[in-house]
Structures are given as C-alpha cells and as structure tokens.
Amino acid sequence: MIEPRTALVLGATGLVGSRLVDLLLDDPVYTTVRVLSRRPLQRTHPNLHVEIVDFGDLPDDPDIFQADDLFIAFGTTMKKAGSREAFQWVDLDIPLAVALRALDAGTGNCLLVSSVGADPGSPVFYSRVKGELEQALEEAEFNSLQIFRPSFLMGERQENRPAERIGIALFRFFRWIKDDLLGIYSPMPIDMLARGMVNAAKMALEGKLIYHYREIRAISRQNIV
C-alpha cells in the first residue's frame, strides 16, 4: 500500500495538465492536489487547492511549492508566444523557477512533459529549449526526475496547432501501421500520457528516467495502488 502523497501541478489548465488533475483527484493515494495557475480552475474538489500566482513574481511561501510529486505540463507554441524570448520564458524559465522553488521546499520527485527530440544542442529552437529545461532539471538533482517525451498529442485543444493536426491525420491515414513500427513518433492519447505520469510518480523510481511512446504506453496500463 502506497503512503498518501501530495501533488503540485504546473500547467493544470492545459490539455495534459487538466487530465492530470482529474486523475490525481480520482486517485485515493493523492490526498492533496495543489495547482499553480494564472486563473481559477472550473472544477472544485475537497482535495484540490488552487494557488493563483503571477509567474513573473512567484510567491515566497515555501508551503505553496512543497509536495511529494511535481508535475510539469506547462508550455506554449511559437505562434502563441509571439517571439523566441516569450517562448523561452514560458517553456523554460517559468518551469525551471517553479521546479527550483519546489526542490528547495523539499519536493523530491519531478515529472516533466517534454518532447520527442529534446536536445540542448539541437539546431531546432523548440527542441533546444526543451532539451535545456531537461538539462537544467537534471542539474538541480531531484531525487527522481522522470521525463516524458511524447510526439504528437491526440486530444481536443483550444488553440490551433496545424503541424500536430497534420501528424495525427497522417497517423490515422496509415493506421494499419502498428505502433511499434512508428516507435517514438506514434501520436499519443492525452489519457495515456497522463496515466503514465501518475503511475510513474507512484512508482517513485530514483534517478533520471526518460520515457518515449512504448515506455509510456506500458506504464499507463499498470495498476499501481
């Protein structure tokens, strides 16, 4: 039996983050689910605690950042950000700042939604920023750093992401190809990713672990109580 745990979620209003919050609140292991958000959430729950914050001026109270598991599902697109600087602020600076606050507050487990191809040395700006965040979190030395690298995500987004829609459409057109042949580039259902993250958190494996499609699919199917 797993001891009761607390979760801190960054990115709870997004596609992955909102599903994460739902799963965490439905899981009896998590007695407290704290969310950092710029705006209120639409749902309420006895175990849900929403902290409205200014990410440009994070609060000093360490209790806000303390948790067993930090889930980072925070990000934007170049189109929505409007500039490279703004994109880096959202996808690198904010998550790193929150992670370091959480680490200082005693949080030992960090779970990050990154991206396939993340590499701090990549010539592709998007992949480079994702890789730089991974590298910075590794250098922070959490007890456990679990990185999830999905390809295209399958779910209903509010914003328009043409490249993602094209990728999913191509996948459906060639749906006779098995997932194992597409490998790390297989489009991933949001529920699979979120369930994989929650299960991985409860496994509490130490060190740095990186999960791609096959590993995430396998973990998401486990029943960890």
Alpha carbons 22 and 45: distance in angstroms, whole number: 10
**Which strands make up the sheet holding 48-52, listed edge to edge?**
48-52, 30-37, 5-10, 69-72, 109-113, 144-148, 207-211
DSSP state of 62: G
The widest CA-to-CA distance across the chain, in whole angstroms, is 53
Contact 28/20 with Cβ under 8 angstroms?
no
What is the per-residue pLDDT for 152?
83
Which is the catalytic residue, given 30, 79, 126, 178? 126
CATH 1.20.1510.10 fits 5-220, yes or no: no
What is the per-residue pLDDT for 199?
97
Contact 66/102 with Cβ under 8 angstroms?
yes
50 contact partners, CB below 8 Å, separation of at least 6: 12, 34, 35, 37, 40, 41
Domain extents for the chain? 5-220
Chain-centroid distance, C-alpha 107: 16
Which is the catalytic residue, given 30, 79, 80, 130? 130
Per-residue pLDDT tens listing for the chain (225 residues): 789 999 999 999 999 999 999 999 999 999 999 999 999 998 899 999 999 999 999 999 999 999 999 999 999 988 999 999 999 999 999 999 999 999 999 999 999 999 999 999 999 999 999 999 999 999 999 999 999 999 888 866 555 556 555 555 555 554 555 555 567 888 899 999 999 999 999 998 999 999 999 999 999 999 887
Contact 29/92 with Cβ under 8 angstroms?
no
What is the per-residue pLDDT for 52?
97
What is the per-residue pLDDT for 187?
86
What is the per-residue pLDDT for 177?
52
213 carries an active-site annotation: no
126 carries an active-site annotation: yes
What is the per-residue pLDDT for 69?
99
What is the per-residue pLDDT for 142?
97
Q: Does the predicted model carry a pTM greater than 0.85?
A: yes
Alpha carbons 105 and 68: distance in angstroms, whole number: 10
State whether residue 163 is helix, strand or coil. Answer: helix
